[in-house]
Amino acid sequence: MTAELYFDYNGSTPLHAEVRTLCAELLDRDFGNASAAHRAGTSAKEHIDRARSAAARALNARASELFFTSGGTEANNWALVGSVPRSGRRHLVVSAIEHKSVLATAQALESCG
Q: What's the pLDDT tens digit per position in 89-111?
A: 678 889 999 999 999 999 998 88
Q: Domain map of the chain by residue range?
A: 17-65, 72-111
Q: In angstroms, how far is the first alpha carbon of the chain from the final one?
A: 56
Residue in 68, 76, 84 with CA at minimum distance from that of residue 34: 68
Give the DSSP letter of residue 34.
T
Alpha helices in 1-113 (DSSP H): 17-29, 39-59, 72-87, 100-111
The Cα 103–Cα 100 span in angstroms is 5
Given pLDDT bands bounded at 50, 70 and 90, which one contains residue 14? confident
Q: What's the pLDDT tens digit per position in 29-65?
A: 878 889 999 988 999 999 999 999 999 999 999 999 9
The pTM is what?
Answer: 0.68
Q: Please work out, in degrees rounded to the nearest 5, the angle formed at the alpha carbon of residue 32 by the alpha carbons of 10 and 17.
A: 45
